[in-house]
Structure 1
Amino acid sequence: MDKTRKRLLKLSTVILAAVIALAGCGGGGNSGNSASPKNEPANKETSTPAGGTENKEPVTLKYTFWGSPQEKKAVEEATKKFTEKYPWITVNAIHIPESDYDAKITAMVAANETPDAGYVHGELGEAWQKEGKFINFNDMFAKDTEMKKEDFLDYIWFNGDDPNYTWGISTAGETFGLFYNKDLFAAAGVETPPAKAEEAWDWDQFVEVAKKLTIDKNGKNATDPGFDKDNIKQFGVSFENWYGPIMAHVVNNGGDLVSADGTKFALDQPEAVEAVQKLADLINVHHVAPNPVQAKSIPSQAVALQSKLVAMSMHGQWINLDLGAAKVNYDVGVLPKMKRTVAMGISGVSAMFKATKHPEETWLLTKYLADPSGALNLYRDGLWMPTLKKWYTDPALVAQWAENNPAHPSGFKDAFLNNLLNNNTPSPVYYVKNFGKVSSMAFSALDPVWLGKQTAEQAMKGVVSKVQPEIQGRYGK
């Protein structure tokens, strides 16, 4: 899933999938458990929908999505439960490989076989929303008596040029933190990372800890005389260089991808350049993180922590799924502080298609899948965080997914749950127009920086003249 997420958010510019926070993008391996009585959500609705079902005309909805085998199973479980609640509605859940998704869904639309709802890659979604291909969430909320927009986290909406046109919603609540192997910290006698944002390490503290946890083949760490930087067996930290992890630090340093007024490329500005350079220095100056060549021989971030190839990973919360399933002795802290420490919200997008012949039933499905109780295993097993606020604030609901399970260690509530609820800022995927083109050009230009061949300032100054013509503004709230 970690691999799928990275490719998804990076390739498609990372707007991944959906609000339909459904049982979407990735589920835990025990999705069947959520159907057992002892695991049923306390707030599960059991009553028959108002008006009864006996006079309802049968309806079939087409829902398209991508994802791992676990995700596929979870989506199918969730849509099955939805049909049990609304027996006149059948959901045809169509799993499409992520690499083929845009081509196949475009062909479906061209053939007048448009799905009723589903995942949409960001670049394609942005183009289609300009053509009015999606149902406006605001219109549906205006007619709904059970759920309102204010029930959700505030940053999760994808808006069009008209700020009253909300065409998509985040699949899940997602952000970045500092994962670490507790055994390696114990072996080094090093204090573990703080989980609370107000106690976050500053950057120098973080680098010093990473040095103590970087071990060469002779057992020396990066603070020892004679440390062999060319033969490292354990890195202190690792991070991926797609836009998500990098922007998590850029926004913490007060930078952005485009200027606040939406007129200028901003990754070449001092705040952004400084953040990127600090990350590159972990590789090329401090030698505590693998370079891109070394990283190719390292498995996923979760496996790297599990196999003790790295002591810390600055990564997205979704790797809790793999770490928990593998029963790794790990915990999580907040990212080290630059000028501030905030949780940058990120996710993919899902939408409802205006071509549907059944908008009310499509809305019922969307609402159902936006509530974790419809696919609790996705949250409990570590892949997703909710988009509904009550699942962060109601102790009984929090207990159902974020407590007493291996995918949510002791630091999770402070580092992720509370931080995302109370201390969030949106990633550029939510507000930068032409995001796909802008981000692709900007972040590919950083490749020489990670290899130590250019500084961040040189790379960004070299690409600004190419990116600037692609800047088209920002979407409003």
Structure 2
Amino acid sequence: MRTTSRRRRTVLALPALLGGTVLALAACSGIPEDAPNSEDAEATVTFRIWDDTVAAAYEESFEAFTEQHPEITVDVQVVAWEDYWDRLPEDLEAGTMADVFWTNTANFGAHADTGQMINLDEAIGGDHDAWTEPVADLYRRDCTQWGVPQLWESTALYYNTDLVEEAGVDPTSLRWDPTGAADTLVGAAQALTVDAEGSTADEPGFDAEDVVRFGFNAQHDAQAIWLSFLAENGGRFQDGSGRYTFATPPGEAAFGYVVDLIQTHQVAPAAEDTNNDPAFSRELFLREELALFQAGPSALAHLVDAGFDWDLAPKVEGPRGRISVVHGVAAVGNAHAADSEATIEVLRWLGSAQGQRPLGESGAGIPGVVEAQEAYVQYWAGQDVDVQVFLDAVEEGTTPAPLGPRASGGSNEISPVFQDMFAGRIEVPQALRQAQQAANEAIGD
């Protein structure tokens, strides 16, 4: 596979959230004017999301749905990300929430626990097309399925082909090892990090105060970086009850390795730049000031018109292999929907290959329905990008995004401490203990 700057078609980016760290895609609020409509419709099911670009793909999907179910109209509504999570509990309480709505892993648990969501095991059961199992599992709670997986992300390694060839780096076989015995990432990142005089980070005289190109995007980014490093070293972010458990020897070694890439080896951008700007490393990569960029498929839309050749490789391997963070958006049903039968029909459609195929065909993100994923692969093949590496990641090993009914509160406590840790202001063991204690107190543990 080879990617170039020849692509011009507009693409959609996957909205994703890991509380307090990265990637929330804001969208303009409003209701599309061209929603499917039928004069013969007997029921209107409302569907709320937070991204108006993805709404266009859903509109196409629901046109086909209404052809098969002329008695049901689906009204797609968009609420901007900035307002979405404040309005959600308010509208549920007031009885004005949409019949079907998007949610994420950090927020669905509380509403499932209070009986505000439709139990999908009872409503749909196993009568649906195959879903990507690690994504569907994110929305199982108390042995019950609450969410229909819609769009999801894993992680891969974007690399500048000319830069890695020049440095003699093979991006497909990079490995990190906190003991150093089998490590190849540090050496590769040093060979790719260059100062203003042309010296690399592994050469005498290298000036770390005047770097013009970094090797790797080590940073406070749970989705792309530290959650997978933690899992690949045998650590766990949370236990089965949602309690935080990362302040352990494997956790210290994993986080210490990532922090050292910034503070000791100086092959990654300064935390002061990346802590408050999730897009900083991506912009460096676009300017060819970063050679290796580990990220999810939502970066594709931003890199599609890059003026240089880049490619994709599997994410960096760790001591326990490659373990990718899987995060996804799900559609859930409002238990108090005005027409529960029509709402369940819409949920069935959203969990079908036919219902999700327009999502894949638009390049919006990887569909949760397995059969619909080929449409996504083919879309990007038309852009000269082979995205199979993202799909393959779930077969190698996965670790979940933050879970639990109070996960947002826990993340709010973790993030500022981690920012100080990545900036070198707090030693790793102390930071992990402090963050873990504060997060567990925040969730009432």
Q: Which residue of 1 aligns with 2:159?
A: 180
Distance 1:231 1:328, change over 3 A: same
State how 1:131-210 maps to structure 2 within 5 Å: 131-142=114-125, 145=127, 147=128, 151-159=131-139, 162-163=142-143, 165-186=144-165, 188-194=166-172, 199-203=173-177, 204-210=183-189
**1:151 Cα deviation (Å)?**
4.5
SS of alignment partner, residue 290 of structure 1: coil
Q: 2:391 aligns with which of 417, 420, 434?
A: 417
Verify the 8 A CA contact 2:46 2:99 in the aligned structure 1.
yes
Distance 1:372 1:61, change over 3 A: same
Verify the 8 A CA contact 1:177 1:316 in the aligned structure 2.
yes
Verify the 8 A CA contact 1:238 1:312 in the aligned structure 2.
yes
State how 1:244-323 maps to structure 2 within 5 Å: 244-245=223-224, 246-259=226-239, 262=241, 265-295=244-274, 299-323=279-303
Distance 1:263 1:468, change over 3 A: same
SS of alignment partner, residue 401 of structure 1: helix
Q: Which residue of 2 aligns with 1:363?
A: 344
Q: 1:234 aligns with which of 213, 220, 227?
A: 213
Distance 1:297 1:433, change over 3 A: closer
Verify the 8 A CA contact 2:58 2:358 in the aligned structure 1.
no
Distance 1:207 1:104, change over 3 A: same
Verify the 8 A CA contact 2:103 2:332 in the aligned structure 1.
yes
Q: Deviations over 1:209-230 (max 9, x none)?
A: 1111111111211112111101
Whole-Å separation in 1 of the counterparts to 2:19 and 2:375? 30
Verify the 8 A CA contact 2:47 2:74 in the aligned structure 1.
yes
Verify the 8 A CA contact 1:181 1:330 in the aligned structure 2.
yes
Whole-Å separation in 2 of the counterparts to 1:125 and 1:297? 26
Whole-Å separation in 2 of the counterparts to 1:106 and 1:355? 13
Is 1:404 the equivalent of 2:404? no
Verify the 8 A CA contact 2:195 2:212 in the aligned structure 1.
yes
**1:154 Cα deviation (Å)?**
4.2
Uncovered stretches (5+) of structure 2, i.e. residues with no partner:
1-10, 29-37, 178-182
Q: 2:88 aligns with which of 77, 89, 105?
A: 105
Q: Match of 1:137, as an amino acid?
A: L
Q: Which residue of 2 aligns with 1:46?
A: none
Verify the 8 A CA contact 2:161 2:309 in the aligned structure 1.
yes
Verify the 8 A CA contact 1:66 1:119 in the aligned structure 2.
yes
Q: Match of 2:238, as an amino acid?
A: V
Distance 1:462 1:2, change over 3 A: farther
**1:270 Cα deviation (Å)?**
1.0
Q: Match of 2:396, as an amino acid?
A: N
SS of alignment partner, residue 446 of structure 1: helix
Q: Match of 2:175, as an amino acid?
A: W
The CA RMSD measured in Å over matched residues stands at 3.4
Q: Which residue of 2 aligns with 1:65?
A: 49
Is 1:324 the equivalent of 2:304? yes
Compute the TM-score of the two structures, normalised by the length of structure 2: 0.82
Whole-Å separation in 2 of the counterparts to 1:274 and 1:2? 37
Whole-Å separation in 2 of the counterparts to 1:375 and 1:325? 26
Is 1:126 the equivalent of 2:115? no
Q: Deviations over 1:427-451 (max 9, x none)?
A: 1434x45322223322331122111
Q: Which residue of 2 aligns with 1:88?
A: 71
Whole-Å separation in 1 of the counterparts to 2:95 and 2:242? 38
Q: Which residue of 1 aligns with 2:5?
A: none
Identity %: 19
SS of alignment partner, residue 303 of structure 2: helix
Verify the 8 A CA contact 1:16 1:119 in the aligned structure 2.
no
Verify the 8 A CA contact 2:238 2:244 in the aligned structure 1.
yes
**1:463 Cα deviation (Å)?**
3.6
Q: Deviations over 1:265-314 (max 9, x none)?
A: 31110111211111111111111111122336895544332221211111
Verify the 8 A CA contact 2:417 2:435 in the aligned structure 1.
yes
Q: Deviations over 1:367-387 (max 9, x none)?
A: 333345545464356442232
Whole-Å separation in 1 of the counterparts to 2:81 and 2:14? 8
Distance 1:75 1:384, change over 3 A: same
Q: Match of 1:78, as an amino acid?
A: S
Whole-Å separation in 2 of the counterparts to 1:25 and 1:78? 20
Q: Which residue of 1 aligns with 2:8?
A: none
Whole-Å separation in 1 of the counterparts to 2:286 and 2:149? 29
Uncovered stretches (5+) of structure 1, i.e. residues with no partner:
18-23, 27-53
Distance 1:371 1:263, change over 3 A: closer
Verify the 8 A CA contact 1:207 1:282 in the aligned structure 2.
yes
Whole-Å separation in 2 of the counterparts to 1:322 and 1:407? 15
